Amino acid sequence: MATEIELKAWVDDPEKTRALIDSLAQSEGTYEKFDTYWRWSTDDPKNPPLGSGVRVRKEIRRGNTTGIITFKNKEVRDGIEINDEREFEVSDTSVFEELLKRLGLSP
């Protein structure tokens, strides 16, 4: 399983930072993404929240659509946010969303 490490940082001059990144790397293109977040109702004690819920992403790149499902657990250790994130692809996001509905989740 791959490990993703993400750093969020404040920059004083975004354009200068973008120019530096552009000088170091070549763009592989752009893509569109459409996210829907699904959760159980936190009012129901039989169905506690599932970490951060489930994200269903439709990603369109070079005319191809990919369905990517993501779920994660967030915790804070020594003041640092740690996300244990799991991700997999599905061939049909609408079928997967129907499963989520049947399991009692809602967008």
pTM > 0.95: yes or no:
no
The chain-wide mean pLDDT, for the chain, equals 86
Q: Is residue 61 part of a domain?
A: yes
Q: Is residue 48 part of a domain?
A: yes
Question: Which structural domain range is residue 83 located in?
Answer: 30-102
What is the per-residue pLDDT for 15?
A: 96
Instruction: Decide which of 28 and 95 is more confident.
Output: 95
- pLDDT class of 9 with cuts at 50, 70, 90: confident
Beta bridge partners of 36: 56
- Cα(64)–Cα(62) distance, rounded to whole angstroms? 6
What is the per-residue pLDDT for 60?
A: 94
Of 57, 61, 47, 53, the closest CA to residue 85 belongs to: 53
Q: Is residue 2 part of a domain?
A: no
In tens, the pLDDT along 17-69 reads: 999 999 999 888 889 999 999 988 766 656 555 566 899 999 999 989 999 99
Q: Is residue 6 part of a domain?
A: no
Q: Is residue 39 part of a domain?
A: yes
Of 83, 91, 104, the closest CA to residue 38 belongs to: 104
22: its two tokens: 């552009």
Q: What's the domain count of the chain?
A: 1
Q: Is residue 45 part of a domain?
A: yes
Largest CA distance in the chain: 53
Q: Is residue 20 part of a domain?
A: no
